[in-house]
Structure 1
Amino acid sequence: MLKLDRRWPFGLTQKSWPDAVAAVVLVLFVLVFFDVWLSQTLQAWPDVWRAPFAFITDFGLSEWVLIPSLLGLVLGFIALRVPLGRYRRAIYELTLVASFIFVGVGLPGLTVNLIKRLIGRARPEYFHEFGAFHFQHILNDWSFQSFPSGHSTTAIGTALVIGFMLPRFAGLILLIGVMTGLSRVVIGMHYPTDVIAGFAVGTLGAYVVRNYFARRRWLFAFRADGSVRFRGLPALRRLVGRRA
């Protein structure tokens, strides 16, 4: 079972962070030597193999997560400004859920979009024209925004945000997130290093937001051992129970 209640992923601590960063950099450095080979190998798969990845890749689109959660956040803030009686606490909890999803997915997504514009790596479809390590920093368009992968960041961030609240389904959701990242290589949108970097940013961002919520006791709380528990939605459960 995945240990998503730990304060940081993979058992990281304040002392081990430098080693973890070094490990990620090392992994990316090693993958650089296989970037082109893996990219071209996966793109050369038969169309019948690639078709499912062309479908699943849309799970990495941020719009389907950010727009509904932002709408829920705005409506929640509006609703909390009017007398709601016994419904107020339940709506407050739902507003917190919408806020957590929006920030937990949106913050790492925004970070990645800034990074990819600064780095300006050419996408795989321009390999024959520019090579795998051609960069057009800062002033660029979609063609030079390959590293890191935004879809991979959104996919893993969304999987973790949902997994923190629904740990029973975390394994399945994370599998979908990983497959979404892989799909970006299969359909030729990113190199493997782009995907790994996107996973790293999405994972770190989701944990940072979750821990911030825990410090404020919004949806989450720290246990005595430093792990994080989801506090649940007790007011909503009581409300639903009354109506059942």
Structure 2
Amino acid sequence: MSSIRRQLRPWQRLARRYHVRRHHHSRLPWLGYTLTAINIVILAFFVFDIPLGQAAKNLSPRLIAVAGAVTDIGRLVSILSAIAVVFAVVLFVARRRSPTHRRYRTAYLIQMVAYVGLSALSTSIIVNFLKYAIGRARPPLYDQYGILGFQPFRGDFLFESFPSAHSANVGSLFAALALLFPRFRLLFVSIGLWLGASRIIIGVHYPSDVAAGLALGAWIAFAVAILFCRFGLVFSTGQDGWPRPRLNHRLRWSSDRHKSFKKLWQEPATRNH
């Protein structure tokens, strides 16, 4: 069986993985999520953009300074750099484990990095195109254009407000982390919301920009998770159809297998004594 797997090319292995799991796919509430996100963005657009956009001008300089210091976490370069550092550190630590643990941890780590990286890159490409195509004026131009100032395809930083790219990147990153580590889901969601709010505090985005960015990033991370789940990478399909991380299952299986082999080797030695 292992020799057959070695002879298959990578794309053939992926096709085989997908074929095995094709009957386990469940319908997901895409329509409900989309309608909810659109309603939140519309509500923010007509209710919160004007008051919060104006209030941001009167915030404490200290608060603005703090928000400015943390807001760059949402840059794509920062996210990819953090992923590279975490990958290097975890890979170094994994080398000190037993060969069985190291093999599965390394494979799973590579899949995790691929998942988070693909989510972040896909989000960045889509959101930057949307910003360029929509061309909404930023809050500093509120007195001149208001909240309905649009100049599509202008290519000017001051007309690339909707949706927020930083917020989209943050939404993608922390939604991916929430899916990978469900126990800390509330923590990741909270951090994502605060980082998104930092774009409003420093006065470069309206609330609707941030809401749209966070929703878009989270949606893309979830869609990529479903894609990986279809091929049995990183995630497996839960009973409700949602992706569930495979890490605990893999590590438990490898640990039990390692213990069973160790027991078999120790039994003859015990009998001889």
TM-score range, shorter chain: 0.7 to 0.9
TM-score by length of 2: 0.70
| Structure-2 residue corresponding to 1:52 | 66
User: 8 Å contact 1:157–1:205 — kept in the other structure?
Assistant: yes
One-letter amino acid of the counterpart of residue 47, structure 1: P
| Structure-2 residue corresponding to 1:43 | 57
User: 8 Å contact 1:101–1:161 — kept in the other structure?
Assistant: yes
Which residue among 39, 47, 52 is the counterpart of 1:26?
39
Which residue among 151, 167, 184 is the counterpart of 2:166?
151
SS at match of 1:196: helix
SS at match of 1:55: helix
SS at match of 2:148: coil
- After superposition, where does 1:6-25 map in structure 2 within 5 Å? 14=28, 17-18=30-31, 20-25=33-38
Which residue among 148, 162, 170 is the counterpart of 1:133?
148
1:72 Cα shift? 8.6
- After superposition, where does 1:116-127 map in structure 2 within 5 Å? 116-127=131-142
1:47 Cα shift? 1.2
Which residue among 184, 187, 192 is the counterpart of 1:177?
192
TM-score by length of 1: 0.77
Any gaps of 5 or more consecutive residues in structure 1? 1-12, 74-84
> Are residues 118 and 128 of structure 1, via their aligned partners in 2, closer, same or farther at CA, if it must alter by over 3 Å?
same
1:20 Cα shift? 4.5
User: 8 Å contact 2:171–2:214 — kept in the other structure?
Assistant: yes
| Structure-1 residue corresponding to 2:127 | 112
User: 8 Å contact 2:176–2:218 — kept in the other structure?
Assistant: no
1:186 Cα shift? 0.8
One-letter amino acid of the counterpart of residue 28, structure 1: V
SS at match of 2:147: coil
Largest Rg, 1 or 2: 2
Q: Identical aligned pairs, as a percentage?
A: 29
CA deviation profile, 1:110-135 (whole Å, cap 9, x unmatched): 21111111101111112223332221
Q: Distance in 2 between matches of 1:160 and 1:21?
A: 16
| Structure-2 residue corresponding to 1:160 | 175
Paired residues, number: 216
Any gaps of 5 or more consecutive residues in structure 2? 1-26, 88-98, 260-273
User: 8 Å contact 2:44–2:211 — kept in the other structure?
Assistant: no
Please state if 1:191 is matched with 2:196: no
One-letter amino acid of the counterpart of residue 107, structure 1: S
| Structure-2 residue corresponding to 1:210 | 225
1:46 Cα shift? 1.6
1:26 Cα shift? 3.3
User: 8 Å contact 1:150–1:198 — kept in the other structure?
Assistant: yes
Over aligned residues, Cα RMSD in angstroms?
2.8
Q: Distance in 1 between matches of 2:73 and 2:131?
A: 20
SS at match of 2:177: helix
Q: Distance in 2 between matches of 1:160 and 1:29?
A: 22
Q: Distance in 1 between matches of 2:43 and 2:152?
A: 23
| Structure-1 residue corresponding to 2:251 | 234
SS at match of 1:131: helix
User: 8 Å contact 1:104–1:206 — kept in the other structure?
Assistant: yes
- After superposition, where does 1:59-78 map in structure 2 within 5 Å? 59-67=73-81, 69=83
SS at match of 1:132: helix
Of the structure 1 ranges 86-95 and 161-170, higher mean CA displacement relative to structure 2 is found in 86-95
